[in-house]
Amino acid sequence: MRIYLKRDDEIELIRQSGEILTDAIKLVGENIKPGVSLLELDKIAENYIISRGAEPSCKGYDGFPGTLCLSVNNIVVHGIPNDYKLKEGDIISVDCTVKYKGYCSDCAYTYGVGNIKEQDKKLLEVTKQSLFEAINIAQVGKRLGDIGYTIENYVKKNGFYIIEEYGGHGIGKGIHEDPIVENKGKKNTGYKICNGLVLAIEPITSISTGDTNVLDNGWDVITKDGCNAAHFEATIGFYNNKTIILTDINKCEV
């Protein structure tokens, strides 16, 4: 494990990148409605990010074709944008990374399309709140296991499941850097959080199982039993013994 701690000016550039990113996701959220295709949403995001002088850093990453990962219903993460048209009652995770002046930010928000089922509504609320709970516990001197424990405990006590194979990570000049930030863990274990660390924390949950498969395209991860999944993500940094939110998902609300 090789962890790259960031200088104050680097954290500021990640914050600027994150501002562009949350604005882009909010714009996508405002265009989510029945009849809109995933490719249309992807193009909206790409055009906006480029207009702000930034790069959609997911596009081309290990061959990924889109600006956004768009994961609908039982697609957990890494959904490739295609010509699927959203329907009333769908839920859709919008996951994106932006590079600005050489530095990346990462954020995800799951939206409901029109009126959604009460169970899906609760899934989204619990998953989003588990992220807030994790951010609240993430402080200099705490350990990564505290973050994982907080997410896992909150999600499970509310009756849902963690997708264990996927989780958060460090971020900076690259989209994915050390350390891995798991969505499960034990208190007081793992890497100790320190000033200069920048993390993407991303609880990924499902309704009835944590088991997944990957489709033949090599990207779309789906739940084995077809149940719906949710995903929220924020980038945070640690500076002067304070926790700084670099992608504020509250700005993604529509």
Contact 169, 136 (CB under 8 A): no
- pLDDT at residue 35, as a whole number: 98
Name the class of domain 8-252.
alpha beta
Distance between CA atoms of 133 and 170, rounded to whole angstroms?
Answer: 19
On whether the pTM is more than 0.95, the answer is yes
In this predicted structure, what is the pLDDT of residue 247? 98
Low-confidence ranges of the chain (pLDDT < 50): none
CA-closest candidate to residue 6, choices 14, 79, 169: 14
List, for residues 186-216, the tens digit of each pLDDT value: 999 999 999 999 999 999 999 998 899 999 9
Return the pLDDT at 100.
98
Domain map of the chain by residue range? 8-252
- CA pair distance 57, 49, nearest whole angstrom: 10
User: φ, ψ for residue 41 (rounded to 5)?
Assistant: -65, -40
Q: What is the pLDDT of residue 8?
A: 96
pLDDT of the residue at 210: 86
Q: What is the Cα–Cα distance from 88 to 196, expressed in whole angstroms? A: 43
Per-residue pLDDT, 117? 98
Q: What are the structure tokens assigned to 130, written together?
A: 């588990």
Cβ neighbours, 10 Å, residue 140 = 16
> Chain-centre distance of CA 101, in angstroms?
21
